[in-house]
Chain A
Amino acid sequence: MKKNSLSITAVSALILAMLAVSCSKNSGSAAPAPSGGNPSSGQILINGAGSTLDYPAFTKWFEVYAAMDTNVQFNYQSLGSGAGQKQLLNQTVDFGASDAPMTDASMAGAPGKILHLPIVGGGVAIVYNLPGDPKLKLDGATLAEIYLGTITKWNDPKIVALNQGVNLPDLSIIPVHRSDGSGTSFIFTDYLSAVNDIWANSVKKGASVKWPAGVGIGAKGSEGVTGQVRQLPGAIGYAEVAYADQNKIPYAAIKNAAGQFVLPTPDSVSAALATATIPDDFRFSIVNAPGDKTYPIAGPSWVLIYQKQNGDRGKHLVAFLKWAITDGQKISQTLDYAPLPDALQQRELKLLDTVTY
């Protein structure tokens, strides 16, 4: 018996020791200092994380840029905008990417000044499933009422009035929204807040919001929303244009601030980027932007970096960003992203010149 209890003490001591080791390891990894540095090949590894929306653009850019600067290698984890912001704040990455600008509150917790750089523009398409796939026109007020649950049928007079000559069925509308937190939801709710006071005062805007109770269903991811809309006659949803195109779901022309009905295309989103009023810190919204050719439900996606960069790594990162903002835009355009207008590109280059090393 005595021997037994002795061995138990020994074992528990061992476990405690293991625990202590694992705990200290844990606190070590929580400390800052982005990993990377110079591996044996002599290459600099630059780490980024964030928005899933930007991921295809980054992948393509890294591939092309690799030939232009062989000293640097990029690594991007598409974990979502929230994770991108969090990892930048924890200094576990060199740059973050986000579909929503950081709030003052979260930037207050940062160890240094953070710069917002719009990197691509994206439009959010309003997709729907109606018998016969008619071409629909919608406006912001109607969309808000659909998602608030006050318009419930496709043959509601307000929808009929916008679509003269289209045969709209007596079918219940099933609004589908993103169930996961998402930059697409941010742009969509930002737009509804801009065009509808009830929305602006109750639901407000955010990557995840409290959707009006009992209205419609939530689906995970843009592919979930488009899949759900395709399954359910009468459903309406919102998704990045690329997803709507890939899934061959019809999407609506939306009435913009100038009263024109416009489809989401790289050009109409770029037009919105060009006419929107953009402040110097680049935290802005382009929903419901003025101008005849602008698509109203659109937003930029941002790269987030610290103004104080870390020597050589920082210089390589800034060089890459300068390239992505200018020449890189032609490449991202082939992937359905809206290119940044020239004037905005020039302003961003100026901001990048303020980076210190």
Chain B
Amino acid sequence: MNAAEATVTKAVPGMKRAIPRVSRFGDRAFQWLTLIMAFSIFVLIVLIGFELFYGARPALEKFGWRFLVSSTWDPVNDVFGALPYIYGTVVTSAIALLIAVPLSISTAIFLTELAPLWLRQPLVIFIELLAAIPSVILGFWGFYVMVPWLHDHIYPVLRSGLGFLPFFRGSDNGPCILSAGIILSIMIIPIITSVSREILRSVPGLQREAAYALGATRWEVTRIAVLSYAKRGLFGAVILGLGRALGETMAVTMLIGNAPYVGTSVFAAGQTLASVIANEFTEATDNLYSSALFEIGLVLLGVTLVVNALARLLLLTFAGPSVKPQQ
């Protein structure tokens, strides 16, 4: 990717000279137009943030920071706290990443490095098809097919085999935090896989050739020349997937069991920030109640921003000399 960017910047001065002077007005107008478009995204985000903040003000004033650490969500008595929902959002997304990252990156490596050429295109098409399935359809499938199957065949095995861990104990419902994490992983696999594939494809062939020339095996070539070169890009792909997992609503609402929960068991029913909004906003008659739901939206926006910021920080620590792409 970096290499591609470099070629573009180099090409630009030459292109400018090639354009005849007459069209300068058109050029400027075009520049303005794209600038407005780019700006409008910024304005949109600021407006959304402001609206959420404005709507959440009564709850912000009443609960302050306690909103983030309190586990009570009681619309009848007007007491609201978001901790179980923050917990549910973070844990389901973490489970999704735990499953999806190894799967997606191995798939991407297979597709770019190992698969025979005739197999690559069909596989890519299938992965893109998976990305095109609307989340409500995945939710339906999860509700009627995946969860009952997991409940009958996989969860009992986990329970008896890994029951000594606190994660695999507790209630036996079917819809639970683990089920939601699994459906999320299915939803983010195509995103992480296609972006990773593009990243790996952009690793210059010279890297590989150099490693082969040093007598590296195929695995060593992949590890030293390809993966370490592409590390930052792959990390970016994972962050894209995480972004979707954090905000995903419909399929999660259908499979998570919708009961506020903070604890160690992945078999317990949970709830996420997005699912509580989807569940409750239609009947939120009371002012403070709907304002608390606005604040949940604000928290979700905040969690997304924090996770993205942390990811970028982590990315900076990667930037050792060995990884920096050579120009």
Q: Which residues of A contact B (CB under 8 A)?
A: 7-8, 10-12, 14-15, 19, 79-83, 85-86, 102-103, 105-106, 172, 174, 179-183, 203-211, 213-220, 224, 227-228, 231-232
Most chain A Cβ neighbours within 10 Å, of B36, B147, B278, B285: B285
Chain A CB within 8 A of B70 CB: no
Choose among B171, B260, B284 the residue that contacts A82 (Cβ–Cβ < 8 A). B284
Q: Are B39 and A11 in contact (CB under 8 A)?
A: yes
Q: Are A15 and B43 in contact (CB under 8 A)?
A: yes
Chain A CB within 8 A of B219 CB: no
Known: A82-B284, A103-B285. 15 other contacts (CB 8 A): A11-B32, A12-B39, A83-B282, A102-B285, A179-B258, A181-B284, A204-B77, A207-B283, A208-B284, A210-B76, A213-B259, A213-B261, A215-B259, A220-B278, A231-B148
A120 to B160, CA, bound (A): 51
- Closest residue to A8 on the B side, CB-wise? B35
| Residues of B with C-beta under 8 A to A180 | 278-280, 282-283
Contact A106:B257 (CB < 8 A) given known A8-B35, A209-B76: no
- Closest residue to A212 on the B side, CB-wise? B259
A8 to B28, CA, bound (A): 11
Closest-CB distance, A156 to chain B (whole angstroms):
18
A71 to B209, CA, bound (A): 81
Q: Are A79 and B282 in contact (CB under 8 A)?
A: yes
Closest-CB distance, B31 to chain A (whole angstroms):
8
Contact A11:B35 (CB < 8 A) given known A86-B285, A207-B283, A227-B143: yes
Those 10 A-B pairs whose CB atoms lie nearest each other, nearest first: A181-B283, A218-B258, A80-B282, A179-B258, A217-B257, A82-B283, A210-B74, A206-B76, A82-B285, A217-B269
Closest-CB distance, A236 to chain B (whole angstroms):
13
| Residues of A with C-beta under 8 A to B284 | 82, 181, 208
- Closest residue to A232 on the B side, CB-wise? B174
Q: Are A210 and B36 in contact (CB under 8 A)?
A: no
- Closest residue to B42 on the A side, CB-wise? A15
A109 to B281, CA, bound (A): 20
Chain A CB within 8 A of B2 CB: no
Measured as residues with beta carbon below 8 angstroms from the partner, the interface class of chain B is: 35 or more
Choose among B72, B148, B151, B285 the residue that contacts A85 (Cβ–Cβ < 8 A). B285
| Residues of B with C-beta under 8 A to A82 | 282-285
- Closest residue to A217 on the B side, CB-wise? B257
Q: Are B75 and A7 in contact (CB under 8 A)?
A: no
Chain A CB within 8 A of B233 CB: no
Contact A231:B147 (CB < 8 A) given known A208-B283, A220-B254: yes
| Residues of A with C-beta under 8 A to B258 | 179, 217-220
Would you give the 0/1 interface string for B222-245, flagging 1 where the beta carbon is closer than 8 Å to chain A?
000000000000000000000000
Chain A CB within 8 A of B173 CB: yes
| Residues of A with C-beta under 8 A to B147 | 231
Q: Are B285 and A204 in contact (CB under 8 A)?
A: no
Would you give the 0/1 interface string for B276-303, flagging 1 where the beta carbon is closer than 8 Å to chain A?
0011111111100100000000000000
A213 to B74, CA, bound (A): 11
Q: Are A213 and B175 in contact (CB under 8 A)?
A: no
A7 to B282, CA, bound (A): 45
- Closest residue to B33 on the A side, CB-wise? A11
Contact A210:B285 (CB < 8 A) given known A11-B39, A220-B253: no
